[in-house]
Amino acid sequence: MFLYEINENHVTIEELLRNHWRLGKKLVHELRMAKAITLANDELIQWNTPLQAGSIIKVAFSIPTSNYKPTPICAIDVVYEDDHCLIVSKPKGMSTHPNDARDTHTCMNHVMAHIKEQGGIYAEHIHRLDKGTQGLLLVAKHPLAKSIFDRMIEEKSIIRMYAAEVQGNIRGASGTISEPIGKDRHHATKRVVSKSGQHAVTHYEVVARYKNSCVVHLILETGRTHQIRVHLAYIGHPIIGDTMYGARVTASDDYELHAIQLEFDHPFLNKRIIVKDKQ
């Protein structure tokens, strides 16, 4: 259950759900059948009744239990949180979510420990980060938020920024890599640029230059597996240490890719959210 303040005049509940939040038909029908939306004082309201700006409505609905087994304590940093979502900083070397029942120390297992401490039962990630990538991960705290944030990811209205140091110096200050990505037939986990692959777009900007490398900030339009790593290697500038994609071996024998910022218009709080991770 949560309260929501209508922020413009003459908006109906029907318009809020279908045009503003743009929920799916099935979910809208379920909310209608459950009489899930009332005024703040629990008074029923017709869905075609225009409301004035400042009106407070109550949205109440059943919440399913997520299947992630909570860790004993949450050992990851919660960078941002409200009633609808949270943003955590996933450590490098930790999977976003379990792949089987034995996988109980992923980022979502730690998130579930945090949710459980608050008396909650639901948490679902909106996007994912590769195991070797650290940084910000957006998590929904109820199904309505999940539905809306999923749609926002599809429509590219959640801006995800990453930072990486790459081999060599990229020509020019910025650019866009628009190349489809598919599976490598010769390597189970590797991805390649392929004409038969999925549409993938990465924007980059050079923010620092050194003798034999440069630091780039990258914004994803799509979220393909290993997208940034594949695209940077494709233009001849793999992430330093990313030997899978052609980089030289380093002392750490590993690459560094960091999800440093998330930015979006919050659908329930009616404000712009910008969250930055520690670098």
**What is the DSSP secondary-structure string of 174-235?**
EEEEE--EEE-TT-SS-EEE-TTSB--EEEEEEEEE-SSEEEEEEEESS--TTHHHHHHHHT
- Note the pLDDT of residue 101: 81
The yes or no reply on domain 160-259 and CATH 3.30.2350.10 is yes
Mean pLDDT of the chain: 93
Annotation says 150 is catalytic: no
- Note the pLDDT of residue 254: 85
Backbone region of residue 233 per phi and psi (left: phi > 0; alpha: psi in -120 to 50; beta: other values): alpha
- Note the pLDDT of residue 161: 96
pLDDT in tens, 72-98: 999 999 999 999 999 999 999 999 999
pLDDT in tens, 221-279: 888 999 999 999 999 999 999 999 998 888 777 888 999 999 999 999 989 999 999 86
77-155 and 160-259 agree in CATH topology: yes
Share of the chain above pLDDT 90, in %: 68
Task: Assess contact for 118 and 37: CB atoms under 8 A.
Answer: no
What global pTM score does this model have? 0.89
pLDDT in tens, 192-202: 999 999 999 99
Residue of 100, 130, 242, 265 with catalytic role: 130
The yes or no reply on domain 77-155 and CATH 1.10.10.10 is no
Average pLDDT estimate for 104-122:
96
